[in-house]
Structure 1
Amino acid sequence: MLSVQITRELQLPCHHLTTRRCLHHGEFHCYVPAVKETLTTAHTEARLGFALQYLPMDVEFWKTTIFSDEKVFTSVESGATQCWRPPNTRYRPESINEIRRCGRNAVSFWEWMWGYGPGELVKKEGRFNS
């Protein structure tokens, strides 16, 4: 939220630059918030279960394990939002802008890697699904 918006919403009897200076004096600075998808309790429990299941594995196991990921580049650009927060607090829950994505044009890619290097980058037609 911009200092202009803060001044208006709180109906402060001062100029927005005064609000900005006060925030800076209190060691709050304006940053673009971190963005991440909203996780459900089921997601959190599944991730913890996975981590605990593979915790005792040795280095050789992990060298031969294939990791894969996908990335979707979208044509929809949302303007950067801003938040006031102290330094080094980017990933605190109150500093994260959670989003839900839908209705966009996209180009999707899938890639894999393992302990001996990267794999192939593949352009994926259509949508990713589970």
Structure 2
Amino acid sequence: MPQRNQFEKVQIIIYLHEGLSVRNVAHTMHVNKTTVQRIRNKWETDETIGKRKPTGRLKITTEVEDNALVQYLEQNPFHVVRAAIQRTDVPGSRPTACRRIKESPLKNYVATKKMILGNEQKQARIICALNNILRENWDRVIFTDEKVFQSTNNGQIRVYRRRRTRFNENFVNNSERSGRFSVNVCGWLSYYGPGYVG
């Protein structure tokens, strides 16, 4: 239903004070009867035709405190909310802090996990790619990869970051090889599509 402007609301109140019925006012103003009744009821109870002032609780934090909380998590994306509250002295509870963070550009994601590559490894991969970029007969090449199932569960690491920054080095959970027991499952992909592991 479209909102009536102030002039229309005043005119409706004038017609009602002049003794016109709700039906006649609705017909004259080309509005629904429920609209006229709502405006009349608001005028009789609040003596106003404007919007009622919000009655909700005031925010316990200031804009400066909210910014400090968000800036701390931007600088320490792997820290939890409780640590951010303690370091910034932001008043209020953890749910309050979480609401302030949700109002910001930051979102809480599971951190992308990547192996740490040394400079020599990076350089070797670039050289390999450049040497093979023009190679023919790629339909005769098979690419393989593996998924490692570890004997222990490290759990998910979460990070606060902005959208479209998943692979930014500041937000990646770098992992290193360890001596844990693991089972490797291999798969392969060719020019014609995914393959099957026997």
TM-score by length of 1: 0.78
Query: 1:31, CA displacement in angstroms?
Result: 1.0
- Work out the CA distance in 2 between the residues paired with 1:13 and 1:71: 43
- Work out the CA distance in 2 between the residues paired with 1:119 and 1:13: 54
- Work out the CA distance in 1 between the residues paired with 2:161 and 2:193: 38
Q: Which moved more, 1:47-56 or 1:68-77?
A: 68-77
Q: Which residue of 2 aligns with 1:113?
A: 189
- Work out the CA distance in 2 between the residues paired with 1:92 and 1:4: 24
Largest Rg, 1 or 2: 2
Instruction: Give the ranges of 4+ consecutive aligned residues of structure 1 lying more than 4 Å apart after TM superposition.
Output: 117-120
Unaligned 5+ runs, structure 2:
1-78
Structure 1 residues 33-48: aligned runs within 5 Å: 33-48=111-126
Higher helix share: 2
Q: Which residue of 2 aligns with 1:32?
A: 110
Unaligned 5+ runs, structure 1:
123-130
SS in 1 for 2:154: coil
Q: Which residue of 2 aligns with 1:86?
A: 162
- Work out the CA distance in 2 between the residues paired with 1:13 and 1:69: 47
Higher strand share: 1
- Work out the CA distance in 2 between the residues paired with 1:63 and 1:3: 50
Q: Quick one: which of 165, 175, 179 aligns to 1:103?
A: 179
- Work out the CA distance in 2 between the residues paired with 1:11 and 1:37: 33
Quick check: 1:74 aligned with 2:146? no
With a CA cutoff of 8 Å and minimum separation of 6, indicate the structure with the bigger relative contact order: 1
- Work out the CA distance in 2 between the residues paired with 1:120 and 1:89: 33
Query: 1:118, CA displacement in angstroms?
Result: 4.2
Query: 1:26, CA displacement in angstroms?
Result: 2.4
Q: Quick one: which of 62, 79, 82 aligns to 2:138?
A: 62
Q: Which residue of 2 aligns with 1:13?
A: 90
Root mean square deviation, CA, Å: 2.0
Query: 1:82, CA displacement in angstroms?
Result: 1.3
Number of residue pairs aligned between Structure 1 and Structure 2? 119
Answer yes or no: is the 8 Å Cα contact 1:3–1:17 preserved in 2. no
Cα shift readout 1:73-101 (whole Å, capped 9, x = no counterpart): 11211121211111121111111010113
